Amino acid sequence: APAAAQEEMPCEFSVNVGRRNARAAGLKIFQTRSIPRMDFLVLFLLYVALVLIGVVMICVCSKTHYLKGLVRGGAQIFSYIIPECLQRAVLRLLHYLFHTQNYTFIILHLILQGMVYTEYTWEIFGYCQELEFSLYYLLLPYLLLIVNLIFFTLTCVTNPGTITKANELLFLQVYEFDEVMFPKNMSCSTCDLRKPARSKHCGVCNRCVHRFDHHCVWVNNCIGAWNARYFLTYLLTLTASAATLAIVSTGFLVQLVVVSDLYLETYVDDLGHFQVIDTVFLIQYLFLTFPRIVFMLGFVVVLSFLLGGYLCFALYLVATNQTTNEWYKGDWAWHPHVAWPPSAEPRIYRNIHSHGLWSNLREIFLPAAAHYERKKK
């Protein structure tokens, strides 16, 4: 053989060996897996139940008038079917979950996160190592998990900006009153304190919060001026974590199909004819062969879209220097044709607190109250 050919042979040989090893690993993974039909059925029913619970939670927690009307109509229908004692029990449960401070959703959050990462560590991580995935690529979800848990803890324990007698005068001078959403000389009937602009009394925590955004049941805390930066970072890392898990899981299944040449195989249909494996059959086969992995993949994909949508909304509020509370209250400003009394002048809400993207970002990560206090000193 020519010298050039002799030089190319070792490289070509190593590539072929690598491909054979990967294909052997893929076939080994498929061969060591049974097809637990009952296991898949149970997980599928559990998956459907979790999706339905999530939809119900979104409808209950949503501030959208259409969904509130839908929930109200559904409650009226069920009131004729469900016994009154069960209705009272459900109402007490909903009141406890969404209108009192409790650790239910924190525990649920940690359980779901633990289940997802347990499945990832137990199966996907080992299989991906057999298929020679990059170790840095496989360790990225763990890094995101650590960062996410740090900011999750900070969001839970940080004071969101509780207004007290001691700091009332300070908060009153931070933001300008717009005389529409936040008029001057208003007092909180519960706390007996003057209400600074952009503040709101939280009925769950029973306190007035500076630059109140919303009360988040997942962290059992209000989101205000002093912990909004932690909440935003927590939401960002949680979204990135779910998306990374979805990408790695999808990459594993695709690589497994490719290296095992499964897409080139045939099967016998109900009529006894040989058919080339199509996409539908392939997905069904993966469902039945890897039920836990595909279940987890479906969960993190749905979670990625939900969290990604909410993250975009949160970034929009940050960029425009609005809170969720202000966005919801100012929603009527998009409908200027309101029936006002003849003696009253129409008052349209305008956001007077936005001063450009970088100033708005600085206000989130350097809270206005702390900035004002340093300037005063």
Residues catalogued as catalytic? 216
**Which residues 6+ apart lie within 8 Å of 257 measured at CB?**
263, 282, 286
CA gap 338, 347 in Å, rounded: 10
Going by C-alpha positions, the residue among 285, 251, 286, 259 that lies closest to residue 28 is 259
Cα separation, 25 vs 278, in Å, equals: 23
Sequence-ordered list of residues with C-beta below 8 angstroms from that of 208, at least 6 positions apart, any chain: 162, 163, 188, 191, 193, 195, 199, 200, 201, 202
* Amino acid (1-letter code) at residue 283: I
Q: 230-241 in b/e burial notation, b at 16+ Cβ within 10 A?
A: bbbbbbbbbbbb
Find the radius of gyration of the CA atoms of the chain: 28
Which stretches of 32-134 are DSSP H helices?
37-61, 65-79, 84-99, 104-119, 125-130
Structural tokens at position 105: 């959703």
Any idea what DSSP says for residue 194?
B
The answer to whether 189 and 200 have CB atoms below 8 angstroms apart is: no
| Residues whose CB falls within 8 Å of the CB of residue 14, separated by 6 or more in sequence, listed in order | none
Q: How far apart are CA 110 and CA 145, in angstroms?
A: 11
